[in-house]
Structure 1
Amino acid sequence: MTNQKLSICSLILFIAILASSCREPQKKENKNVAQASTLSLHTGDERYLMIDSKESVIKWKGSSLNGLNAQAGYIYLSKGELRIENGQLVGGTVEVDMNTIEDKNHGRDNKLVNHLKDPDFFEVKRFPFSTISITRVNSVNSDHKQVTANLTIKGITKPVAFQTKTEITDETIKANAKLVIDRTKWDVRYKSAKFYANLANQTMSDSIEFDIQIVAKK
């Protein structure tokens, strides 16, 4: 009877040891899988390239409603960065210095430019900077991207969408885009038919065109 009990106890002990040895590799395997999953969240070539304010520029254009009396000029970026992941543009933010507004001849102190800086237009003393913050980028083809961003002017933020052509190397990114906005959405109401009646030929178009040329470097 004693020998039989010993045999049963030995059998139970053997089964327990066998079960324990089978479970241990499974724990290690699960741990390895968890580590691999965590690492996968951090893989990829992610870089931030800083805006070169000397090589970046925005060309602006506005006109009367009938297309006459067109005005154009330049404005410059103060700082910003573009985010690149796996060789593609995926995000970024740029800041525009509204005090750098120029006319088409690069004049900064004249009737036109001073008017653009006053409350009729961009109220630059109160709102010296505007920003463009990219929220989403979708590929159109290898060179062109569809960009969705938040544009802030005069402290008002609205979503905008535009296409950009990008040239990306290990050291730089060049991005060119054309953005057309309805200025009244940012409270730029001067001679807009939406707010003023009987302006006749003095009515100004609500559209402002921006030709954006950005260079960012590592």
Structure 2
Amino acid sequence: MKGQARDARELSCSELNTLLINESPPIVLDILPPEHYSKVRLPSAVNACIFDAKFLDLTRDLFTTLDDPIVIYGAGQESYDWSVAWKKLHHAGYTNLSVLKAGVEGWLVAGYPVDGSEKKIQKEERPLSITEGRCWEIDTEKSILEWRGRKNTGSHRGTIKVSGHLYESNGELRGNIVADMKSIQDLDLEGDPLKTVLESHLNSDDFFFTQLFPTAKFEIVETKNTKVQTLTCPQVVAKGILSIRGVSHSVEVPLLINELDETTISIEMHFDIDRTRWGIIYGSSRFFRHLMYHKVFDIISAQCQLYGVSATPQK
């Protein structure tokens, strides 16, 4: 695989198994998270998680010298974990390194013994696979929209509560995400008297005019898969109608969706909007002159973390 260690000494499962039954077996280093290590691992393996920022400190407590014979293994052939670990240890001066590229999954498939509480290949979270008829209500306690507005003297950030529902229809994700605009809060001015001044201003007709327009809504009308379908990158682009202050415009928003379990999904959204398209023109130099320190940049950034819980299917 591109970017992996080219000079790593590789062992097959059978070669490692032979070494493990010798009188002087190598140190077998499991580099997966300790939660995974506790469930399934190679016999006699020790653990130092490659994703831990203190990985090298952890390994120093496991090895006696830089010449110790060490065999590194991670998840499996297609995971970069073993390569990253090999490079770190190699650069740290360890001289007797080997790798089991097949990883714990290849070891299991080959039928060799393992230790741990479950002794089987572990399931991972997966991108949402659209079927038909499932529906989720947005968990209002866990879900939140974070916003950031900017000006040439700094920025402000805060939160807005969200609700709504999502459902599957014709092989696509649909639904409505509703923002309670009266719940808007500022976070960076906590303890400052200006906090209530800013929040009042955001609720006023200069900005979101929440007395007349208490909610904003994003209605998903179409979704398309992206080219990359992984757990950490947007898998879907949602096209929908964003309504703010009684004005509606079509927007496209990338969605990163994971199934956390059989009943819960998580959705991460990041997007920018030009607020002036929705009639929020306060402090915009496109509409006013001589603003001085009242200038407010036109672009608002939003980050929304949603948690959907299974509900009664839509009719």
Residue number in structure 2 paired with 1:45: 132
Could you tell me which residue of structure 2 aligns to residue 81 of structure 1? 165
Alpha carbons of structure 1 residues 132 and 106: separation in structure 2 relative to 1, 3 Å? farther
1:99 aligns with 2:186: no
1:150 aligns with one of 241, 256, 274:
241
Which has the larger strand fraction? 1
1:73·1:106 contact (CA, 8 Å) conserved in 2? no
SS at match of 2:134: strand
Structure 2 stretches lacking a partner, 5+ long? 1-130, 311-315
What TM-score do you get using the length of structure 2 for normalisation?
Answer: 0.51
Larger radius of gyration: 1
Provide, for residues 12-62 of structure 1, a one-character-per-residue CA deviation record: whole Å limited to 9, x for no partner: xxxxxxxxxxxxxxxxxxxxxxxxxxxxxxxx5321111100011000000
Contact 1:176–1:212 (CA<8 Å) still a contact in 2?
A: yes
Mean Cα deviation higher: 128-137 or 143-152: 143-152
Q: How does 1:174-213 map to 2 (within 5 A)?
A: 174-213=266-305
Q: Deviations over 1:142-167 (max 9, x none)?
A: 24211111100011111111211100
Number of aligned positions between the proteins:
171
1:171 lines up with 2:263 in the alignment: yes
Q: 1:63 aligns to what SS in structure 2?
A: strand
Q: Deviations over 1:149-203 (max 9, x none)?
A: 1100011111111211100242111100111000001110111011101224532
CA distance in 1, matches of 2:156, 2:172: 32
| Paired residue secondary structure (2:213) | coil
Query: Using the alignment, how far apart are the partners of 2:251 and 2:277 within structure 1?
Result: 11
Q: Which residue of 2 aligns with 1:215?
A: 307
For 1:75, the aligned partner's letter is: I
Which stretch shows the higher mean deviation, 124-133 or 89-98?
89-98
The 8 Å contact of residues 73 and 103 in structure 1, kept in 2 or not, is answered as: yes
More helix by share: 1
1:84 shift after superposition: 3.2
Identity %: 26
Structure 1 regions of 5+ residues with no counterpart?
1-43
Mapped to 2, the partners of 1:204 and 1:99 lie a distance apart of: 21
Contact 1:82–1:89 (Cα < 8 Å) also in 2: no
Q: Give the alignment's TM-score, normalised by structure 1.
A: 0.73
- CA RMSD of superposed structures (Å): 2.1
